[in-house]
Structures are given as structure tokens and as C-alpha cells.
């Protein structure tokens, strides 16, 4: 039953993808619904509302989650791209982590959830727009392929 699980340096690697959901708190309703949908399709989503507990060092927990995730989904909205604060820090940290991964690997997936001007730092990474009917299927394909 466990013969198909990969063991690397004594650690069992589960055949499940983990994604970090980077978003502005104003977009949390959309993100909450998506996290639930991803879970139904076998993708674990690290979502601050669910994962952070009272007393946690939230900055450290978020950094660790970004580092250990297979993908970082960056949700771009008019609010998130114009907001000063932690969303911008998460984006910068995810971009730093992207630099540590093999060239050409898919790690950051920018997702545009409403009309906005995406940051220049993401201009070389192909975006996904939620205003198309097949956006979720394309996201699943990117995560599971």
C-alpha cells in the first residue's frame, strides 16, 4: 500500500500538491471558496484563515508555508496590487523563493480576479484570468501536471 510513496532523505513525500494562497484580506471570500474547491480536487491549500492559530508567529509561519509549498498562487485584484502592506511582502518573498528553484520551473501562478494592472515583477510569468469559463480547469492542469 505504501510502496508508491517516494522517500527522499528519510522523508516520505506524499503525492499531494500544496499551494500557498497569497491574497489581500479584502479578497478572502473568493479565496475561501477556491481553497475548498481545490481540496475537493486533491490539492491542499495553505490559507491563513484556516492555518494560523492564536499565538502563532504569523510572519514565520507564512514564510515557512511559502518555502514548503509546491506553488504560490498570487491573487491580483485592484485592491491587492494597490495596497501597501503584507501582500507586497509575500509577493517579494515568493519571488525570492522562485529564484531558488530550477530555471523554468512553475512555482508562482498569478491569478487576476478583477480588473487591475499586475505588478511589473510578474510580467515574465504567464497570468491566469478568472473571467474565462475554463480558468479553473487551466489552474488544475498547471497544478497537477
Residue 10 lies in a domain: yes
Q: What is the CATH number of the domain that holds 18?
A: 3.40.50.10140
Query: Domain range holding 136?
Result: 6-144
> How many residues belong to the chain?
145
Residue 1 lies in a domain: no
Average pLDDT over residues 63-83: 96
Average pLDDT over residues 120-128: 94
In angstroms, the CA 132 to CA 120 distance is 23
Number of domains the chain contains: 1
Longest dimension (CA), the chain: 49
Residue 103 lies in a domain: yes
Residue 62 lies in a domain: yes
- Whether the pLDDT of residue 145 is over 60: the answer is yes
Q: Round the average pLDDT of the chain to a whole number and report it.
A: 92
Amino acid at each position: 500500500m505504501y510502496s508508491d510513496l517516494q522517500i527522499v532523505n528519510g522523508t516520505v513525500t506524499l503525492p499531494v500538491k500544496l499551494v500557498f494562497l497569497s491574497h489581500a484580506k479584502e479578497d478572502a471570500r473568493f479565496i475561501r471558496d477556491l481553497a475548498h474547491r481545490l481540496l475537493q480536487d486533491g490539492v491542499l491549500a495553505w490559507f491563513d484563515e484556516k492555518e494560523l492559530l492564536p499565538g502563532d508567529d504569523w510572519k514565520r509561519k507564512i514564510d515557512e508555508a511559502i518555502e514548503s509549498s509546491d506553488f504560490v498562487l498570487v491573487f491580483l485584484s485592484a485592491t491587492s496590487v494597490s495596497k501597501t502592506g503584507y501582500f507586497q511582502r509575500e509577493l517579494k518573498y515568493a519571488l525570492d523563493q522562485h529564484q531558488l528553484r530550477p530555471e523554468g520551473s512553475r512555482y508562482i501562478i498569478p491569478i487576476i480576479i478583477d480588473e487591475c494592472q499586475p505588478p511589473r515583477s510578474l510580467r515574465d510569468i504567464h497570468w491566469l484570468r478568472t473571467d474565462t469559463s475554463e480558468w479553473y480547469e487551466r489552474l488544475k492542469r498547471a497544478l497537477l501536471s
